[in-house]
Amino acid sequence: MRTITLIDAIKEAYQEELRRDDSVFLVGQDLRGAIFPHTKGLVEEFGTERILDTPIAESGMYGAAFGAAQEGMRPVVDFMFGGFSYVTFSECSVTTGQYYFLHGSQQSLPIVITAGVGTGQRLANDHAMSIHGTFAHHPGIKVAMPSTPYDAKGMFKAAIRDDNPVVIPWHMGIMMLKGEIPDEDYVVPLGVADVKREGDDVTVLANSMQLQHALKVAEKLEGEISVEVIDPRSFVPFDIDTVLQSLEKTNRLVVVDEDWESGGFAATVSARIMEQGFDLLDAPVTRVTLPNMPVPGGYMEEYVAPNPEKIEAAIRAVCA
């Protein structure tokens, strides 16, 4: 076991997969100089054909990855900030999601889409928005986001090895979070949730930076309210069984999601629990999400975005 940061865990996943499979390559902007630390040093080992920097041309950059995937390569496309993926929205959401199914399930697209996302930098909407919910809305694309260094390495490896398009952003607010990882090769399969903390009174479903917030709140409430914290890890496919199992015990659910309330993952979970787990509930499912406004920057970000205070209030409300 070793202790490393989340961003270094992603880097290790890249290094090991680039060594393992010659068809894997990274494409993005300023990856070689490493605008974020997870690509630092990669060009020295793998060269400029596998650590590929493009002009500021997101549609061309993603489209090239798409074409390379059709030719049997396995691109990892790094958009730097998640919002920048929307520059090439038709290609990376619509065309990517429909490609396999609409063309008669002949050829899948092994593309990984990644970027830094999330609140905490006070940079406002275009640099702070989450993208997982939007991609999850488009059938045919897997969507996941890691919350710990262990998950980050294992999930990025799973994403690169997956034959389908996988969107796997990482949250800038936890890039320096430290955690233990094993020395040997491992993957964390996509579509499997993880109980990060056991409890009896209420289940909190939270991911990424918000998972860290939820764990803090659970600790704070210990002795008063026993909180079970589940990390969905993947949004598509979503492991609802782990949540239903937990609800057998707790009968209460709070969904924390750093995305807009309307049409987001939390809304989907809430609807599905109502459909499949209505009889398990002692209280309505409660959501802690971004309110339906463009993410403000400045000092407003910290109290508008989901945060420990909002999570605690939701837990107390659902347990009242």
Partner 1 sequence: MSLSKEQKAALYRNLVRADQYNRMMYRRMMQGKLIGFYHPAEGAIAPGVAACTFLNQDDNLSPHHRGHGIIHMMSKGIDIKYYLAEHTGKDTGCCQGRSAFHFSFPEHKVYMMSGFIGYNFAPAVGWGLAAKRRGQGQVVMNCSGDGSYGQGRAHEAMLMAQNWKLPIIFFCENNGMSIFSTAGEMHPTPDIASMALAYDMPSVICDGQDVFDVAEAVLPAIERARRGEGPTFVEAKTLRFNEHDIGTPDLAGWEERGEQEHQEMRKREPVALATERVLAEGVFTQEQIDGLNEEAEKEIAAVEEFADNSDIARPPESELLADVFAP
Ligand X SMILES: Cc1ncc(C[n+]2csc(CCOP(=O)(O)OP(=O)(O)O)c2C)c(N)n1
Cβ count near 189 (within 10 Å): 13
Which candidate in 38, 127, 132, 138 is catalytic?
A: 127
We find the least distance from the C-beta atom of residue 171 to partner 1, in angstroms, to be: 17
> Binding to ligand X by residue 58, rule CB under 6 A?
yes
Closest CA to 283 of 317, 255, 312: 317
Smaller CB distance to partner 1: residue 142 or 171?
171
We find the least distance from the C-beta atom of residue 130 to partner 1, in angstroms, to be: 15
Smaller CB distance to partner 1: residue 34 or 192?
34
> Binding to partner 1 by residue 182, rule CB under 8 A?
no
- Cα–Cα distance measured from residue 189 to residue 1, given in angstroms and rounded to the nearest whole number: 20
Q: From the list 47, 67, 237, 291, which residue makes contact with partner 1 (rule: CB under 8 A)?
A: 291
Q: Which residues contact 194 (CB under 8 A, 6 or more apart)?
A: 151, 230, 231, 233, 242
- Tokens standing for residue 235: 């949004």
Give all strands (DSSP E) within the chain, no chain letters. Answer: 2-5, 24-28, 51-53, 74-81, 112-117, 142-144, 166-167, 170-171, 178-181, 194-197, 202-205, 227-231, 234-236, 253-260, 286-290
> Binding to partner 1 by residue 292, rule CB under 8 A?
yes
Q: From the list 22, 45, 47, 56, which residue makes contact with ligand X (rule: CB under 6 A)?
A: 56
We find the least distance from the C-beta atom of residue 299 to ligand X, in angstroms, to be: 23
> Binding to ligand X by residue 80, rule CB under 6 A?
yes
Q: From the list 15, 16, 50, 122, which residue makes contact with partner 1 (rule: CB under 8 A)?
A: 122
Q: Which residues contact 58 (CB under 8 A, 6 or more apart)?
A: 79, 84, 85, 87, 88
Catalytic residue list contains 127: yes
> Binding to ligand X by residue 87, rule CB under 6 A?
yes
Binding site for partner 1 (CB under 8 A): 29-30, 32-35, 43-44, 53-60, 81, 83-84, 87, 121-127, 291-294, 296-300, 303-304
